[in-house]
């Protein structure tokens, strides 16, 4: 979802400076879950299909629903990667967001569903070899917000991850500039192997 991080008009309250200056925060939250949570793939497909990604309100609703679904599946969490970085310009923020998006998409064997700016595209899944025992699903949240400080620090525990996801569900909606939900594999009959996780998602750390 390559979008411009458009400047948001201020409302005259104490948040107006953050909303109108050029400082933005780009955040990436990535969670690996046991493949026994296969219903997640269908849930995320349903959420993405009905989301109105052409409007700020639709993007915010998509973000809230995504965080809520992940919170409902805490028992399946296994690994996490969290990073939130503040940059001094909208252009730098857009470049960083698109860099993360391209990096994550490059790991996909296939992207069978996209919903960008309200345009939905669906493709049939590609068959994967049987390989090792299938074990994981990886979900990635990419956010660009008008916040002048990072949304969170590194995360290593279930309790911290739960707190961050809860905070995400209560973000100030007008601060959300861009959001992208990625999950792999998208096909509900597929999942990642231990080898896939180790090679493609080596930065993920086990959740304590």
Note whether residue 41 is domain-resident: yes
Range of 79's domain? Answer: 23-126+135-206
Residues in the chain: 208
Does residue 116 fall inside a structural domain?
yes
Which residues lie below 8 Å from residue 51, measured CB to CB, with a gap of 6+? 58, 59, 61, 62, 65, 115
In a domain, 8, yes or no: no
Cα–Cα distance, 82 to 141 (Å, whole number): 10
Q: Has residue 8 got a pLDDT over 80?
A: no
User: What's the pLDDT band for 132 if we cut at 50, 70, 90?
Assistant: very low
Whether 74 is covered by a domain: the verdict is: yes
Residue 11 located in a structural domain: no
Is 12 contained in some domain? no
- Structurally, the chain folds into a number of domains equal to 1
pLDDT at position 163: 97
Helix (H, G, I), strand (E, B) or coil at 171: coil
Report the alpha-carbon distance of residue 72 to residue 59 in Å, rounded: 20
Kindly report, residue by residue over 176-193, the tens digit of the pLDDT.
999 999 998 888 888 899
The answer as to whether 121 is a domain residue is yes
Residue 16 belongs to some domain of the structure: no
Alpha-carbon distance of 85 to 145, in angstroms, equals 10
Segment 41-75, tens digit of pLDDT:
889 889 888 888 888 899 999 999 999 999 999 99
Dihedral angle of Cα 49, 55, 167, 29, to the nearest 10 degrees: 60
């Amino acid at each position: 979802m390559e979008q411009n991080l458009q400047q948001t008009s201020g409302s005259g309250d104490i948040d107006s400076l953050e909303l109108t200056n050029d400082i933005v925060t780009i955040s990436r939250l990535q969670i690996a879950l046991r493949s026994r949570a296969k219903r997640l793939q269908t849930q995320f497909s349903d959420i993405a299909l009905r989301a109105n990604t052409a409007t700020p309100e639709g993007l915010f609703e998509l973000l809230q629903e995504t965080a809520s679904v992940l919170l409902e599946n805490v028992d399946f969490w296994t690994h996490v990667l969290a990073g939130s970085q503040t940059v001094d310009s909208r252009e730098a923020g857009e470049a960083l967001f698109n860099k993360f998006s391209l990096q994550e998409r490059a790991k996909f064997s296939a992207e069978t569903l996209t919903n960008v700016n309200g345009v939905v595209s669906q493709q049939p899944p590609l068959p994967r070899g049987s390989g090792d025992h299938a074990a994981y699903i990886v979900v990635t949240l990419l956010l660009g917000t008008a916040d002048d400080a990072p949304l969170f620090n590194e995360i290593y525990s279930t309790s911290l991850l739960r707190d961050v996801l809860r905070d995400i569900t209560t973000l100030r909606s007008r601060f959300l500039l861009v959001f992208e939900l990625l999950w792999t594999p998208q096909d509900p009959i597929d999942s990642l192997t231990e080898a896939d996780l180790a090679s493609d998602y080596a930065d993920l750390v086990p959740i304590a």
